[in-house]
Amino acid sequence: MKRTITTLTLAGLAATAAGAGIIWSGLINVGADDPHLDSVHALLSATRERSIAVRAADIPVPDLSAPELIRRGAGNYHSMCIGCHLAPGMAPTELSQNLYPAPPNLAQIGTNGNPSVAFWIVKHGIKATGMPAWGKSMGDEHIWGMVAFLQQLPSLDAAQYRALVAASDGHSHGGGEGDMHDHSRQHDHSGATPSPQPPAAPHHGDGHDHGHDQEVANAPAAPEKKVHVHADGKEHVHH
């Protein structure tokens, strides 16, 4: 008995030391452009599935067919989600393509057959994936609105999608709304912080000029011109 305990203890210590050695050596590549090993991926997927299934099991689903719920969900989805999850007729974005794990195309899968799971994921997010916990800034009724909208999404074409978004209240969930989809500001990094030296060349394309035709096609509306004043008092127009 005593010998068994000693053996198990030594084996445990050896495994811990090996694990620490692997971490210390830097062997594990955390780069998002280096996919997981199949075994690691299977382990993470199973953990994700079970974690969510257990937590979503008891969530009661309200009536998701209410047109008012769907209408409001459309505006919030359009404002906060399409950069990663796309919309009918929309081309892939840098976020939808470059995140790992890749955000699923919700225009195709909607709630993926399980509204309580979709609700739980939207509310709590998923650690280390890029999927935010929207419940931190949004009440349950607004999250259900997006879930109700997601149920309809796969059956909408681009024109129906646009009509529903146009009829919605836009980005509105009772407070905490950030400025998510102002492409002109998100993309023009040099314009975000006034620099002490005014740039010699006009800003056009500055910091973001690598062939982004699709963004123009994707942008919900033409970006407005933005004027700001640099530290030296010179005015500056962004297109």
Residues in touch with ligand HEC (CB under 6 A) = 48, 77, 80-81, 83-85, 95, 99, 101, 103-104, 109, 112, 118, 121-122, 126, 129-132, 134, 146
Please say which residue, 56 or 238, places its beta carbon nearer to ligand HEC. Answer: 56
Q: Which residues lie below 8 Å from residue 137, measured CB to CB, with a gap of 6+?
A: 173, 175, 176, 177, 178
CA distance 86 to 107: 6
Please say which residue, 85 or 238, places its beta carbon nearer to ligand HEC. Answer: 85
CA distance 11 to 64: 54
Q: Cα torsion at 189, 102, 52, 178 (round to 10°)?
A: 20
Residue 230: how many other CB atoms lie within 10 Å: 14
Please say which residue, 105 or 194, places its beta carbon nearer to ligand HEC. Answer: 105
Please say which residue, 100 or 194, places its beta carbon nearer to ligand HEC. Answer: 100
- Residue 111 exposed, middle or buried by CB count within 10 Å (0-12, 13-18, 19+): buried
Please compute, for residue 182, the number of CA atoms within 13 A of its CA located in the half-sphere on the CB side.
12
Nearest approach, Cβ of residue 67 and ligand HEC (Å): 19
Please say which residue, 153 or 191, places its beta carbon nearer to ligand HEC. Answer: 153
